[in-house]
Amino acid sequence: MSEPLDPEDCTTMPEVRAGVDEVDRAIVDLLALRFGYMEAAARIKPGREAVRDEARKAQVLANVDAAADEAGLDRSLIAGLYEQLIEASIAYEFEEFDRIRG
């Protein structure tokens, strides 16, 4: 399979879809890596009360806000996506914490 075109070079919907599919695969790979870090956090944190860290959540959201701004993306859209991702990550970390210490 050939490399997808850059968005500005696409002239057909199959080209656009090939690019979107490639980006989606990369996103899933990155999510797997991110959730691997959640597994590590669950293993490392000393107690269940340390899983939810609101200060860290605020820091991540601030980092993402700055990155979205730098990339020229709608900051509120990205913030909403990351709010869901962070909450899913926290839920996953709780599950892993409980599984590890079962």
Range of the domain at 49: 8-101
Query: What's the rounded mean pLDDT across residues 38-59?
Result: 98
Residue 3 falls inside a structural domain: no
Please give the share of the chain, as a percent, with pLDDT higher than 70.
Answer: 99
Residue 54 falls inside a structural domain: yes
Q: With a cut of 90, say whether residue 1 has pLDDT above it.
A: no
> Residue 100 corresponds to which tokens in the numbers above?
């590890």
In DSSP notation, 13-72 reads HHHHHHHHHHHHHHHHHHHHHHHHHHHHHHHH-SSGGGS--HHHHHHHHHHHHHHHHHHT
- How far CA 87 is from CA of 4, 9, 27, 80, in Å, comes to 32, 36, 18, 11
pLDDT band at 61 (very low <50, low <70, confident <90, very high): very high
Q: Give how many domains the chain has, as a whole number.
A: 1
> What is the spatial distance between Cα 32 and Cα 39, in angstroms, rounded to a whole number?
10
Residue 97 falls inside a structural domain: yes
CATH number for the domain spanning 48: value is 1.20.59.10
Whole-prediction pTM: 0.90
For residue 102, the model assigns a pLDDT of: 81
Residue 15 falls inside a structural domain: yes
Residue 68 falls inside a structural domain: yes
Residue 78 falls inside a structural domain: yes
Residue 32 falls inside a structural domain: yes
Q: How many CA atoms lie within 13 A of 64 on its CB side?
A: 19
pLDDT in tens, 7-39: 999 999 999 999 999 999 999 999 999 999 999
Residue 1 falls inside a structural domain: no
- How far CA 22 is from CA of 2, 15, 35, in Å, comes to 11, 11, 20
